[in-house]
Amino acid sequence: MIKSMFPVLLLSGLLAQAMAQPSLQEYENRIKQINDDIYAQYYDSPAKLFRETNSKTGDKKPHSYLWPLCALVQAANEMERLQPGGSYVPPVMDAIDKYYSTKPPVPGYEAYVVAEGGDDRFYDDNQWVAIACLDAYNRTKQKKYLLVAQAVYRFMITGFDAKAGGGLYWKEGDGGTKNTCSNGPGILVALQLHRITRDKRYLDTALLLYQWVNKNLLSPEGLYYDAVKIPAGTIDKRYYTYNTGAMLQANVLLYSITGRKDYLQEAQRVAEAAINYFYKNGRYPRNHWFNAVLLRGYEELYKADGNKKYINSFISDADSIWKKEANEKAVTNPVHTQKLLDRAGLLEIYARLALLKKEGF
Protein backbone atom coordinates (compact mmCIF):
# COMPACT_ATOMS: atom_id res chain seq x y z
CA MET A 1 0.00 0.00 0.00
CA ILE A 2 2.79 2.45 0.88
CA LYS A 3 4.58 1.73 -2.38
CA SER A 4 1.42 2.17 -4.43
CA MET A 5 0.72 5.50 -2.78
CA PHE A 6 4.13 6.97 -3.70
CA PRO A 7 3.24 8.24 -7.20
CA VAL A 8 0.10 9.90 -5.80
CA LEU A 9 2.05 11.55 -3.00
CA LEU A 10 4.77 12.66 -5.43
CA LEU A 11 2.22 14.17 -7.80
CA SER A 12 0.32 15.97 -5.04
CA GLY A 13 3.58 17.33 -3.65
CA LEU A 14 4.64 18.65 -7.04
CA LEU A 15 1.26 20.29 -7.56
CA ALA A 16 1.56 22.04 -4.21
CA GLN A 17 5.07 23.20 -5.04
CA ALA A 18 3.91 24.52 -8.41
CA MET A 19 1.45 26.79 -6.64
CA ALA A 20 4.35 28.68 -5.03
CA GLN A 21 6.78 28.75 -7.95
CA PRO A 22 9.00 31.82 -8.45
CA SER A 23 7.85 34.72 -10.59
CA LEU A 24 9.41 35.53 -13.95
CA GLN A 25 11.13 38.52 -12.36
CA GLU A 26 12.68 36.30 -9.69
CA TYR A 27 14.05 33.98 -12.35
CA GLU A 28 15.41 36.90 -14.34
CA ASN A 29 17.11 38.29 -11.24
CA ARG A 30 18.79 34.94 -10.59
CA ILE A 31 19.89 34.65 -14.21
CA LYS A 32 21.41 38.12 -14.18
CA GLN A 33 23.21 37.48 -10.91
CA ILE A 34 24.77 34.23 -12.11
CA ASN A 35 25.69 35.58 -15.55
CA ASP A 36 27.24 38.72 -14.05
CA ASP A 37 29.19 36.50 -11.66
CA ILE A 38 30.49 34.34 -14.52
CA TYR A 39 31.87 37.36 -16.37
CA ALA A 40 33.26 38.90 -13.19
CA GLN A 41 34.86 35.75 -11.77
CA TYR A 42 35.55 33.41 -14.70
CA TYR A 43 36.11 35.56 -17.79
CA ASP A 44 39.63 36.50 -18.87
CA SER A 45 38.78 39.58 -20.91
CA PRO A 46 42.21 40.21 -22.52
CA ALA A 47 42.39 36.62 -23.76
CA LYS A 48 38.65 36.40 -24.49
CA LEU A 49 38.63 33.03 -22.73
CA PHE A 50 37.08 31.61 -19.57
CA ARG A 51 38.60 30.01 -16.48
CA GLU A 52 37.71 26.55 -15.20
CA THR A 53 36.83 27.84 -11.73
CA ASN A 54 36.56 31.20 -9.96
CA SER A 55 39.95 30.55 -8.34
CA LYS A 56 42.44 32.69 -10.24
CA THR A 57 45.43 30.94 -8.67
CA GLY A 58 44.32 27.37 -7.90
CA ASP A 59 43.66 26.03 -11.40
CA LYS A 60 46.28 23.83 -13.06
CA LYS A 61 45.83 25.62 -16.38
CA PRO A 62 45.07 29.29 -16.99
CA HIS A 63 41.86 28.64 -18.92
CA SER A 64 38.88 26.33 -18.99
CA TYR A 65 38.64 23.04 -20.75
CA LEU A 66 36.03 22.88 -23.49
CA TRP A 67 33.40 20.98 -21.51
CA PRO A 68 32.32 23.93 -19.32
CA LEU A 69 31.98 26.06 -22.45
CA CYS A 70 29.65 23.43 -23.91
CA ALA A 71 27.43 24.17 -20.93
CA LEU A 72 27.87 27.93 -21.12
CA VAL A 73 27.06 28.25 -24.82
CA GLN A 74 23.79 26.36 -24.31
CA ALA A 75 22.93 28.58 -21.35
CA ALA A 76 23.72 31.62 -23.49
CA ASN A 77 21.34 30.36 -26.16
CA GLU A 78 18.55 29.96 -23.62
CA MET A 79 19.18 33.50 -22.40
CA GLU A 80 18.82 34.81 -25.95
CA ARG A 81 15.56 32.86 -26.27
CA LEU A 82 14.36 34.53 -23.09
CA GLN A 83 15.65 37.98 -24.01
CA PRO A 84 15.40 38.48 -27.80
CA GLY A 85 17.97 41.01 -28.89
CA GLY A 86 20.50 39.89 -26.29
CA SER A 87 23.98 38.90 -27.39
CA TYR A 88 25.10 36.14 -25.05
CA VAL A 89 26.18 33.44 -27.53
CA PRO A 90 28.86 35.35 -29.54
CA PRO A 91 31.45 35.82 -26.75
CA VAL A 92 31.19 32.15 -25.82
CA MET A 93 31.53 31.03 -29.42
CA ASP A 94 34.51 33.37 -29.82
CA ALA A 95 36.14 31.47 -26.94
CA ILE A 96 35.14 28.06 -28.33
CA ASP A 97 36.72 28.95 -31.69
CA LYS A 98 40.09 28.92 -29.92
CA TYR A 99 39.69 25.17 -29.32
CA TYR A 100 39.22 24.39 -33.03
CA SER A 101 41.89 22.34 -34.77
CA THR A 102 42.30 21.15 -38.33
CA LYS A 103 44.32 18.03 -37.58
CA PRO A 104 43.34 14.89 -39.52
CA PRO A 105 41.21 13.02 -40.22
CA VAL A 106 38.78 15.96 -40.11
CA PRO A 107 38.63 19.23 -38.16
CA GLY A 108 37.08 19.33 -34.70
CA TYR A 109 37.31 20.96 -31.30
CA GLU A 110 40.07 19.97 -28.90
CA ALA A 111 39.47 19.72 -25.17
CA TYR A 112 41.79 22.63 -24.44
CA VAL A 113 42.86 25.89 -26.09
CA VAL A 114 44.91 24.96 -29.16
CA ALA A 115 47.34 27.88 -28.83
CA GLU A 116 48.04 26.79 -25.24
CA GLY A 117 48.93 23.21 -26.10
CA GLY A 118 45.55 21.72 -26.94
CA ASP A 119 44.41 18.29 -25.78
CA ASP A 120 42.49 15.24 -26.97
CA ARG A 121 39.29 15.58 -28.97
CA PHE A 122 36.16 14.19 -27.33
CA TYR A 123 33.17 13.36 -29.48
CA ASP A 124 30.68 14.39 -26.82
CA ASP A 125 32.27 17.82 -26.25
CA ASN A 126 31.95 18.49 -29.97
CA GLN A 127 28.35 17.26 -30.02
CA TRP A 128 27.24 19.51 -27.15
CA VAL A 129 28.65 22.50 -29.04
CA ALA A 130 26.78 21.38 -32.15
CA ILE A 131 23.50 20.98 -30.25
CA ALA A 132 23.73 24.53 -28.92
CA CYS A 133 24.58 25.82 -32.40
CA LEU A 134 21.64 23.97 -33.92
CA ASP A 135 19.35 25.52 -31.34
CA ALA A 136 20.85 28.91 -32.18
CA TYR A 137 20.38 28.27 -35.91
CA ASN A 138 16.73 27.29 -35.45
CA ARG A 139 16.21 30.53 -33.56
CA THR A 140 18.27 32.97 -35.69
CA LYS A 141 18.68 31.23 -39.08
CA GLN A 142 22.32 32.37 -39.09
CA LYS A 143 24.12 29.89 -41.32
CA LYS A 144 27.36 30.02 -39.32
CA TYR A 145 25.71 27.96 -36.60
CA LEU A 146 24.53 25.32 -39.05
CA LEU A 147 28.01 25.06 -40.53
CA VAL A 148 29.48 24.36 -37.08
CA ALA A 149 26.99 21.54 -36.54
CA GLN A 150 27.63 20.00 -39.94
CA ALA A 151 31.39 20.07 -39.29
CA VAL A 152 30.85 18.36 -35.93
CA TYR A 153 28.73 15.69 -37.61
CA ARG A 154 31.58 14.93 -40.01
CA PHE A 155 33.98 14.70 -37.07
CA MET A 156 31.78 12.50 -34.89
CA ILE A 157 31.21 9.97 -37.66
CA THR A 158 34.95 9.24 -37.62
CA GLY A 159 34.33 7.77 -34.15
CA PHE A 160 32.07 4.98 -35.47
CA ASP A 161 33.09 1.39 -36.16
CA ALA A 162 31.66 -2.13 -35.91
CA LYS A 163 33.24 -3.09 -32.57
CA ALA A 164 30.62 -3.95 -29.93
CA GLY A 165 28.10 -3.93 -32.76
CA GLY A 166 28.48 -0.28 -33.72
CA GLY A 167 28.17 3.01 -31.85
CA LEU A 168 30.48 5.98 -31.34
CA TYR A 169 33.54 6.03 -29.14
CA TRP A 170 33.86 8.62 -26.38
CA LYS A 171 37.27 10.00 -27.31
CA GLU A 172 39.24 10.16 -30.53
CA GLY A 173 42.06 7.63 -30.64
CA ASP A 174 40.88 5.83 -27.50
CA GLY A 175 39.13 2.55 -28.23
CA GLY A 176 38.31 1.84 -24.59
CA THR A 177 34.61 2.72 -24.36
CA LYS A 178 31.50 3.55 -26.33
CA ASN A 179 29.28 5.70 -24.16
CA THR A 180 25.71 6.89 -23.92
CA CYS A 181 27.18 10.39 -23.54
CA SER A 182 28.72 10.25 -27.03
CA ASN A 183 25.89 8.41 -28.76
CA GLY A 184 22.87 10.15 -27.18
CA PRO A 185 23.96 13.66 -28.20
CA GLY A 186 25.12 12.22 -31.53
CA ILE A 187 21.53 11.15 -32.15
CA LEU A 188 20.33 14.66 -31.28
CA VAL A 189 22.81 16.28 -33.68
CA ALA A 190 21.76 13.97 -36.50
CA LEU A 191 18.02 14.42 -35.85
CA GLN A 192 18.24 18.20 -35.77
CA LEU A 193 20.31 18.23 -38.97
CA HIS A 194 17.68 16.02 -40.61
CA ARG A 195 14.85 18.33 -39.56
CA ILE A 196 16.70 21.33 -40.99
CA THR A 197 18.05 19.85 -44.22
CA ARG A 198 15.66 16.91 -44.85
CA ASP A 199 18.75 14.90 -45.76
CA LYS A 200 17.89 11.24 -45.11
CA ARG A 201 21.46 10.26 -44.25
CA TYR A 202 21.16 12.19 -40.99
CA LEU A 203 18.01 10.31 -40.02
CA ASP A 204 19.66 7.03 -40.97
CA THR A 205 22.59 7.88 -38.69
CA ALA A 206 20.27 8.82 -35.83
CA LEU A 207 18.33 5.56 -36.12
CA LEU A 208 21.54 3.52 -36.34
CA LEU A 209 22.88 5.09 -33.13
CA TYR A 210 19.49 4.96 -31.42
CA GLN A 211 19.13 1.25 -32.06
CA TRP A 212 22.67 0.58 -30.82
CA VAL A 213 22.18 2.52 -27.58
CA ASN A 214 18.87 0.86 -26.83
CA LYS A 215 20.25 -2.60 -27.55
CA ASN A 216 23.39 -2.15 -25.44
CA LEU A 217 22.82 0.52 -22.79
CA LEU A 218 19.10 0.73 -21.98
CA SER A 219 18.28 -0.83 -18.61
CA PRO A 220 15.05 -2.77 -18.03
CA GLU A 221 13.89 0.07 -15.76
CA GLY A 222 14.06 2.65 -18.58
CA LEU A 223 17.32 4.35 -17.58
CA TYR A 224 20.57 4.36 -19.51
CA TYR A 225 23.85 2.79 -18.43
CA ASP A 226 27.02 4.79 -18.94
CA ALA A 227 29.19 2.77 -21.33
CA VAL A 228 30.19 -0.40 -23.08
CA LYS A 229 33.81 -1.29 -22.36
CA ILE A 230 35.88 -2.39 -25.34
CA PRO A 231 36.94 -5.11 -26.11
CA ALA A 232 35.43 -7.05 -23.21
CA GLY A 233 31.88 -5.86 -23.89
CA THR A 234 31.15 -5.39 -20.20
CA ILE A 235 28.76 -2.64 -19.17
CA ASP A 236 29.48 0.29 -16.88
CA LYS A 237 26.09 0.37 -15.16
CA ARG A 238 26.31 3.77 -13.52
CA TYR A 239 23.36 6.10 -14.12
CA TYR A 240 23.68 9.81 -14.82
CA THR A 241 20.89 12.29 -15.40
CA TYR A 242 22.38 13.61 -18.63
CA ASN A 243 22.53 10.22 -20.31
CA THR A 244 18.86 9.58 -19.63
CA GLY A 245 18.00 13.18 -20.55
CA ALA A 246 19.65 12.98 -23.97
CA MET A 247 17.89 9.74 -24.85
CA LEU A 248 14.58 11.05 -23.52
CA GLN A 249 14.88 14.03 -25.85
CA ALA A 250 15.88 11.74 -28.71
CA ASN A 251 12.69 9.70 -28.29
CA VAL A 252 10.52 12.82 -28.39
CA LEU A 253 12.30 14.18 -31.47
CA LEU A 254 11.85 10.84 -33.22
CA TYR A 255 8.16 11.01 -32.38
CA SER A 256 7.91 14.53 -33.83
CA ILE A 257 9.73 13.50 -37.01
CA THR A 258 8.08 10.14 -37.65
CA GLY A 259 4.71 10.51 -35.93
CA ARG A 260 5.17 7.06 -34.38
CA LYS A 261 3.51 6.96 -30.98
CA ASP A 262 5.79 4.20 -29.71
CA TYR A 263 8.59 6.77 -29.52
CA LEU A 264 6.39 9.06 -27.42
CA GLN A 265 5.38 6.18 -25.19
CA GLU A 266 9.00 5.24 -24.70
CA ALA A 267 9.83 8.86 -23.85
CA GLN A 268 7.09 8.83 -21.23
CA ARG A 269 8.43 5.57 -19.78
CA VAL A 270 11.97 6.97 -19.62
CA ALA A 271 10.75 10.23 -18.02
CA GLU A 272 8.91 8.31 -15.31
CA ALA A 273 11.92 6.10 -14.67
CA ALA A 274 14.13 9.18 -14.38
CA ILE A 275 11.97 11.01 -11.86
CA ASN A 276 11.54 7.87 -9.77
CA TYR A 277 15.26 7.16 -9.67
CA PHE A 278 16.90 10.59 -9.58
CA TYR A 279 14.38 12.80 -7.75
CA LYS A 280 14.77 12.09 -4.04
CA ASN A 281 13.40 14.18 -1.17
CA GLY A 282 12.55 17.02 -3.54
CA ARG A 283 16.04 17.19 -5.04
CA TYR A 284 17.93 15.98 -8.08
CA PRO A 285 21.63 14.99 -7.83
CA ARG A 286 24.01 17.88 -7.27
CA ASN A 287 25.57 18.10 -10.74
CA HIS A 288 23.69 21.04 -12.22
CA TRP A 289 24.81 20.61 -15.82
CA PHE A 290 23.96 16.90 -15.95
CA ASN A 291 20.53 17.86 -14.64
CA ALA A 292 20.15 20.63 -17.21
CA VAL A 293 20.38 17.99 -19.95
CA LEU A 294 17.61 16.02 -18.23
CA LEU A 295 15.53 19.19 -18.13
CA ARG A 296 15.98 19.52 -21.91
CA GLY A 297 14.38 16.11 -22.29
CA TYR A 298 11.56 16.95 -19.90
CA GLU A 299 10.92 20.21 -21.72
CA GLU A 300 10.77 18.43 -25.08
CA LEU A 301 8.30 15.91 -23.64
CA TYR A 302 6.14 18.64 -22.08
CA LYS A 303 5.79 20.26 -25.51
CA ALA A 304 4.61 16.91 -26.89
CA ASP A 305 2.18 15.71 -24.20
CA GLY A 306 1.53 18.68 -21.88
CA ASN A 307 2.40 16.75 -18.70
CA LYS A 308 3.68 19.30 -16.18
CA LYS A 309 4.86 16.87 -13.50
CA TYR A 310 8.48 16.61 -14.59
CA ILE A 311 8.92 20.36 -15.08
CA ASN A 312 7.38 20.95 -11.65
CA SER A 313 10.00 18.69 -10.11
CA PHE A 314 12.71 20.93 -11.61
CA ILE A 315 10.98 24.07 -10.41
CA SER A 316 11.08 22.67 -6.89
CA ASP A 317 14.71 21.56 -7.14
CA ALA A 318 15.89 24.84 -8.66
CA ASP A 319 14.12 26.84 -5.97
CA SER A 320 15.75 24.72 -3.27
CA ILE A 321 19.14 25.34 -4.81
CA TRP A 322 18.66 29.07 -4.62
CA LYS A 323 17.21 29.16 -1.12
CA LYS A 324 19.51 26.60 0.49
CA GLU A 325 22.77 26.61 -1.41
CA ALA A 326 22.78 30.38 -1.63
CA ASN A 327 23.12 30.37 2.13
CA GLU A 328 25.29 27.28 2.58
CA LYS A 329 27.81 27.73 -0.23
CA ALA A 330 26.73 31.01 -1.79
CA VAL A 331 25.56 30.51 -5.36
CA THR A 332 27.61 33.47 -6.52
CA ASN A 333 30.20 33.98 -3.80
CA PRO A 334 33.84 34.28 -4.90
CA VAL A 335 35.06 33.13 -1.47
CA HIS A 336 34.14 29.56 -2.44
CA THR A 337 35.82 27.74 -5.32
CA GLN A 338 33.15 26.81 -7.83
CA LYS A 339 33.28 25.24 -11.27
CA LEU A 340 32.20 27.09 -14.38
CA LEU A 341 30.43 23.89 -15.46
CA ASP A 342 28.11 24.08 -12.44
CA ARG A 343 27.51 27.82 -12.82
CA ALA A 344 26.62 27.40 -16.49
CA GLY A 345 24.39 24.39 -15.83
CA LEU A 346 22.44 26.29 -13.19
CA LEU A 347 22.20 29.29 -15.52
CA GLU A 348 20.65 27.09 -18.22
CA ILE A 349 18.15 25.60 -15.77
CA TYR A 350 16.91 29.00 -14.58
CA ALA A 351 16.77 30.34 -18.15
CA ARG A 352 14.69 27.38 -19.33
CA LEU A 353 12.32 27.66 -16.39
CA ALA A 354 12.01 31.40 -16.89
CA LEU A 355 11.09 30.94 -20.55
CA LEU A 356 8.49 28.34 -19.64
CA LYS A 357 7.10 30.80 -17.09
CA LYS A 358 7.07 33.56 -19.71
CA GLU A 359 5.16 31.27 -22.07
CA GLY A 360 2.48 30.66 -19.44
CA PHE A 361 3.57 27.48 -17.69
User: Measuring CA to CA, how many Å separate 221 from each of 139, 158, 229, 285, 292?
Assistant: 35, 32, 21, 19, 22
How far apart are the C-alpha atoms of 159 and 212, rounded to whole Å? 14
DSSP letter (8 states) at residue 322: I
Q: Identify the CA nearest to 131 among candidates 73, 65, 49.
A: 73
* pLDDT confidence of residue 2: 39
* pLDDT confidence of residue 58: 76
Residue type for position 335? V
pLDDT tens digits in sequence order for the chain, 361 residues long: 334 444 555 555 555 555 578 999 999 999 999 999 999 999 999 999 999 999 877 788 999 999 999 999 999 999 999 999 999 999 999 999 999 999 999 999 999 999 999 999 999 999 999 999 999 999 999 999 999 999 999 999 999 999 999 999 999 999 999 999 999 999 999 999 999 999 999 999 999 999 999 999 999 999 999 999 999 999 999 999 999 999 999 999 999 999 999 999 999 999 999 999 999 999 999 999 999 999 999 999 999 999 999 999 999 999 999 988 655 445 555 556 899 999 999 999 999 999 999 999 9
How far apart are the C-alpha atoms of 151 and 139, rounded to whole Å? 19
Segments making up each domain of the chain, as ranges: 42-157
- Are 194 and 257 within 8 A, CB to CB? yes
Q: Identify the CA nearest to 81 among candidates 4, 145, 1, 136.
A: 136
How far apart are the C-alpha atoms of 56 and 332, rounded to whole Å? 15
Q: Identify the CA nearest to 134 among candidates 253, 6, 265, 288.
A: 253
How far apart are the C-alpha atoms of 23 and 289, rounded to whole Å? 23
